[in-house]
Protein backbone atom coordinates (compact mmCIF):
# COMPACT_ATOMS: atom_id res chain seq x y z
CA UNK A 1 0.00 0.00 0.00
CA UNK A 2 2.87 2.40 0.81
CA UNK A 3 4.41 1.77 -2.59
CA UNK A 4 1.12 2.48 -4.35
CA UNK A 5 0.73 5.79 -2.51
CA UNK A 6 4.28 6.74 -3.37
CA UNK A 7 3.68 5.80 -7.01
CA UNK A 8 0.50 7.89 -7.21
CA UNK A 9 2.19 10.82 -5.48
CA UNK A 10 5.05 10.64 -8.00
CA UNK A 11 2.66 10.50 -10.93
CA UNK A 12 0.70 13.52 -9.67
CA UNK A 13 3.91 15.44 -9.00
CA UNK A 14 5.09 14.64 -12.52
CA UNK A 15 1.82 15.83 -14.02
CA UNK A 16 1.92 19.03 -11.96
CA UNK A 17 5.50 19.87 -13.01
CA UNK A 18 4.59 21.64 -16.29
CA UNK A 19 2.18 23.88 -14.41
CA UNK A 20 4.96 24.87 -12.02
CA UNK A 21 7.28 25.75 -14.89
CA UNK A 22 4.61 27.85 -16.61
CA UNK A 23 4.07 29.85 -13.43
CA UNK A 24 7.65 30.66 -12.49
CA UNK A 25 8.23 33.31 -9.83
CA UNK A 26 9.16 36.83 -10.85
CA UNK A 27 12.60 37.90 -9.70
CA UNK A 28 13.22 41.53 -8.78
CA UNK A 29 14.98 43.67 -11.35
CA UNK A 30 18.38 44.78 -10.10
CA UNK A 31 18.94 48.53 -10.00
CA UNK A 32 22.75 48.57 -10.31
CA UNK A 33 25.17 47.16 -12.84
CA UNK A 34 27.14 43.96 -12.38
CA UNK A 35 30.35 45.94 -12.02
CA UNK A 36 28.91 48.07 -9.21
CA UNK A 37 27.66 45.01 -7.34
CA UNK A 38 31.03 43.24 -7.72
CA UNK A 39 32.86 46.36 -6.47
CA UNK A 40 30.54 46.48 -3.47
CA UNK A 41 31.20 42.81 -2.72
CA UNK A 42 34.96 43.32 -2.96
CA UNK A 43 34.75 46.33 -0.64
CA UNK A 44 32.76 44.35 1.95
CA UNK A 45 35.13 41.39 1.80
CA UNK A 46 38.13 43.72 2.02
CA UNK A 47 36.61 45.40 5.07
CA UNK A 48 36.07 42.03 6.71
CA UNK A 49 39.67 41.03 6.01
CA UNK A 50 40.95 44.31 7.44
CA UNK A 51 38.89 43.82 10.60
CA UNK A 52 40.23 40.29 11.09
CA UNK A 53 43.83 41.37 10.44
CA UNK A 54 43.51 44.22 12.94
CA UNK A 55 42.00 41.89 15.53
CA UNK A 56 44.75 39.30 15.06
CA UNK A 57 47.47 41.98 15.25
CA UNK A 58 46.03 43.27 18.51
CA UNK A 59 45.92 39.71 19.91
CA UNK A 60 49.55 39.19 18.91
CA UNK A 61 50.58 42.53 20.44
CA UNK A 62 48.71 41.79 23.67
CA UNK A 63 50.20 38.31 23.95
CA UNK A 64 53.78 39.61 23.48
CA UNK A 65 53.24 42.37 26.06
CA UNK A 66 52.10 39.83 28.70
CA UNK A 67 55.17 37.62 28.29
Tell me the whole-structure pTM to 2 decimals.
Answer: 0.48
d(CA 54, CA 40): 21
Q: What is the pLDDT of residues 21-60, one digit of tens each?
A: 666 678 888 899 999 999 999 999 999 999 999 999 999 8
- How distant, in Å, are the alpha carbons of 3, 4, 46 from that of 43? 54, 55, 5
**Residue positions counted in the chain:** 67
Rounded-to-integer distance, Cα 51 and Cα 59, Å: 12
- Quote the DSSP letter at residue 23: T
Amino acid sequence: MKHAKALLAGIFAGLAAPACIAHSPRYPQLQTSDLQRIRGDVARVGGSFNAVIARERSKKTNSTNKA
